[in-house]
Amino acid sequence: MASVKRIGVVGGGAMGSGIAQVVAMHGIDVWLYDLNPQALSSASNSVSASINRLVSKAQLSHAEGADALKRMRFTSNLDEFREADFIIEAIVESEDIKKKLFVELDKLAKSSAILASNTSSISITRLATSTSRPHQVIGMHFMNPPPVMKLIEIVRGADTSDETFAATKALSERLSKTVITSQDYSGFIVNRILLPMINEAFFALYTGVATKEDIDTGMKLGTNHPMGPLELADFIGLDVCLSILKVLHAGLGDNRYAACPLLVQYVDAGRLGRKRGIGVYDYRKEPKSMKS
């Protein structure tokens, strides 16, 4: 495939806005689409703030920052994606909703365009079946937050072609990321290993083994993790963690992936983590200096 010149990112939440920022900072024009105008305006604010921070820390020159912002278009009109060479989907983690979007993208995207999903856990093979181009559908799993994390996990669906894989790998490297490749089995590599650890941390809290602080400190200082598992769950989003565990449980058919009742209860209560101001921890009480 010819070099990618224009990318469309669907979903302007934590991941989609960060992915669009990374793309723009690497000199590629990008549209960011979300059906919720409020999400688009938050995305625009958070990308500007992030780029300004990088400029103030001299990690980006003024000219590079201005160029990145100029390359980004925030839109609520998916039709603009007709011109995109490569589309990255980063909407809510629901197979039904993603499939509906892939049907729509397949209809409007040019025939050479690759359709990538940033899904944490949903089968790329099944998403691909909702399109007429399963060989051009692939998983491109960025880590959170995309501008900071160096990894992209590329997931090959059953029908993903070698050309699609090569183009996605080349694009990932152009974005200065390191690539790992996973076959299309539930949770891929990173989440298959990470989520059982997070779930176990919830079980430790649920069964009264220790306080949340001691569980996190134990894993930070005992195993050299930069964040404890409960802190990390709040950062990822407890709803996202729960939906990945459901996919692991259903796909791998093993009860060790069954979500801890405490995690389920927090999600039911709307305690979704940092994005809601409360999850395992209550961020609303934090002094401003502790907030990232």
Q: Which stretch binds ligand NAI (CB under 6 A): 85-93, 123-131, 247-255, 261-269?
A: 85-93
Identify the sign of the CA torsion 249, 253, 256, 262: positive
Q: Is 139 helix (H, G, I), strand (E, B) or coil?
A: strand
Residue 14 binding ligand NAI, by CB under 6 A: yes
The CA-based diameter of the chain, rounded to the nearest angstrom, is 56
Q: Which stretch binds ligand NAI (CB under 6 A): 113-121, 130-138, 164-172, 205-213?
A: 113-121
Q: Between residue 122 and residue 181, which ones bind ligand NAI under the rule CB under 6 A?
A: 141-142, 144
**Phi, then psi, of 143 in degrees rounded to 5:** -100, 160
Residue type, 102: F
Strands 137-142 and 151-156: antiparallel
- Catalytic annotation on 255? no
Residues 6+ apart with CB under 8 A from 105: 10, 78, 81, 87, 89, 115, 131
Which CB atom, from 31 or from 142, has the smaller least distance to ligand NAI?
142
Instruction: Count Cβ atoms below 10 Å from residue 187 Cβ, excluding itself.
Output: 21
Residues 6+ apart with CB under 8 A from 20: 7, 9, 12, 30, 32, 43, 47, 72
CB of 220 to ligand NAI, least distance (A): 19
Residue 120 binding ligand NAI, by CB under 6 A: yes
- Catalytic annotation on 141? yes
- Catalytic annotation on 191? yes
Half-sphere CA count of 172, side-chain side, radius 13 A: 27
**Interface pick for ligand NAI out of 4, 60, 240, 245 (rule CB under 6 A):** 240
**Phi, then psi, of 10 in degrees rounded to 5:** -105, 125
Which residue in 153, 172, 186, 243 is the catalytic one? 153
Which residue in 17, 117, 118, 120 is the catalytic one? 120
Which residue in 17, 93, 118, 141 is the catalytic one? 141
Which CB atom, from 194 or from 204, has the smaller least distance to ligand NAI?
194
CB of 210 to ligand NAI, least distance (A): 25
| 83 CA to centre of own chain | 23
Residue 10 binding ligand NAI, by CB under 6 A: yes
Tell me the catalytic residues: 120, 141, 153, 191
User: Where along the sequence are the contacts to ligand NAI (CB under 6 A)?
Assistant: 10-16, 34-36, 39, 90-93, 97, 101, 118-120, 141-142, 144, 236-237, 240
